[in-house]
Copies of this chain bind each other. A is one copy, B any other.
Amino acid sequence: MELTHFDKTGAAIMVDVTEKPETLREAVARGEIHVTAETMSQILQGTAKKGDVLGVARIAGIMGVKKTSDLIPLCHPLPIGKVNIDFTADEDHLRVICTCTVKTAGQTGVEMEALTGVSTALLTIYDMCKAIDKHMEITGIHLERKSGGKSGLFVYREENHA
């Protein structure tokens, strides 16, 4: 096994994908932000009426997906065919869970796009709530699922990590 982002001399490269077929690919990433009870309450109020933290974070996440190849040095610029970002406010554990799904018909996968979407959305929640809560923590960002391309289906297994 070796890192594909380096050539034989150890120099960083953007991997050649020009001869790979365009196939339908999808990636789902997930992550969460832990907040105080007060912050959770403010977020939930906004979702119901005005001051919509999650609405702003969703837009930031979608726009973040489109900036992936500008942020991650060796990432290929890709057509983006679909993005959606979902939030679950889990009051019991004082956390907001974010999932980002990205689809493309392209020559390489969109896992970095999905992960960047999750990261940007969670950072935006942080930004909007930081005036009342500086102990928030963004955590558990991982690739949940990935399909399409030569490597086929991947599903994250919790136990693989612990």
Contact = CB atoms under 8 A, between A and B. Distances in A.
Contact of A10 (B19, B46, B62): B46
B58 A72 contact: no
A44 B142 CA distance: 22
Contacts of A112: 123, 126-127, 130
Give the number of times this chain occurs in the complex, counting copies: 6
Interface string A123-162: 1101111111011111111110010000000101100110
Residue among A12, A53, A56 with max Cβ neighbours from chain B (10 Å): A12
Nearest to A83: B14
A76 B82 CA distance: 8
A74 B83 CA distance: 9
Contact of A80 (B14, B56, B84, B139): B14
A11 B103 contact: no
A92 interface: no
A80 B76 contact: yes
A62 B73 contact: yes
A157 B38 CA distance: 18
16 contacts: A3-B51, A5-B128, A7-B84, A11-B85, A16-B103, A18-B104, A18-B105, A55-B55, A64-B71, A67-B71, A72-B120, A73-B124, A77-B80, A79-B107, A112-B130, A135-B161
Q: Which are the 10 A-B pairs with shortest beta-carbon distances?
A: A10-B50, A18-B81, A16-B82, A138-B141, A14-B83, A6-B51, A10-B51, A13-B84, A4-B131, A1-B132
